[in-house]
Amino acid sequence: MASLRDIKSRITSTKKTSQITKAMQMVSAAKMSRAEMNAKSFVPYMEKIQEVTASIALGSKDVAHPMLTSRPVKKTGYLVITSDRGLCGGFNSNVLRQVYQTIQKRHKSSDEYAIIAIGRMGRDFFKKRGMNVILDIVGVADQPAFAEIKDIASKTVGMFADETFDELYMYYNHYVSAIQQDVTEKKLLPLTDISSSTKLTSYEFEPSAEEILKVLLPQYAESLIYGALLDSKASEHASRMTAMKSATDNANELINSLSLSYNRARQAAITQEITEIVGGAAALE
């Protein structure tokens, strides 16, 4: 049996760990609240730009744009959004597992795909396995601004236009609630299934639909990436909050168990001392 000093030391260290996880839980809860608000406030913009883009693209039958046209697929791009840090439960492992299994199933060599990683955990995961990472970004803020990811978003869209890859899939965690985040696969490019959930509005545009789409379609694709990043950040903070709550609860259960063991060991030590004193007194009689 462990000594009283060892048990006391474990109780003290576990209490300190519990304080840390509790603090991280509260910080993540505050960040999740802001991230959720950012993600929800971005939705009206996304709906409007989708409506305008769909109205122009679908309303003008003679309009042609490379981002709206499917082509033979020689190489597939995968944009994967993860976090820069761990301690967030299955947030990273779930999305990385799905991407890894998908690539293994669809492709036989690294020449058939390219990976764009947003987040240190995803970048390190793929590079450690020798997979084809052509672009990455780390250090994205907890409440990201579009300027932070504009460069990688525009490069990603540009790679499709330059035929570096012929289609692009995006993988991230979709925020449903504080306790549910779903791994989501979305085909980002080409924009063959662009549509609006609302009734299309008739727009008059100058100088022409082609000129507007040249500017609007890349912005729309970049906005989809930014919206997914906001969604992923809300999921990350929610997942970390849940993980830290579980860690705090487990620490409290361990403290209670160790306290019970400590009290039993102390009681046994006291009983043994009393027995020895009584035995010694009896021996003197």
Q: What whole-number distance in Å separates Cα of residue 97 and Cα of residue 94?
A: 5
Is 88 considered catalytic here? yes
- Is the CA virtual torsion 234, 236, 239, 244 positive or negative? negative
Contacts of 177 (CB under 8 A, 6+ apart): 238
Contact 84, 244 (CB under 8 A): no
Residue in the block written with tokens 């361990």: 254
CA distances from 240 to 22, 30, 32, 127, 210 (A): 11, 11, 9, 24, 45
Q: How far is CA 126 from the centre of its chain?
A: 16
Q: Which two tokens stand for residue 107?
A: 């492709």
Helical ranges in 75-118 per DSSP H: 91-106
Q: Are strands 76-81 and 113-118 parallel, antiparallel or unpaired?
A: parallel
Cβ density class 154-167: b for 16+ within 10 Å, e for less: eebbebbeeebbbb
Report which DSSP code applies to 184.
E
User: Residues 262, 4: contact at Cβ < 8 Å?
Assistant: yes
Beta bridge partners of 181: 175
Active-site hit among 32, 88, 191, 213: 88
CA distances from 127 to 35, 86, 87 (A): 29, 17, 21
Helix, strand, or coil here: 218?
Answer: helix
Active site members: 88
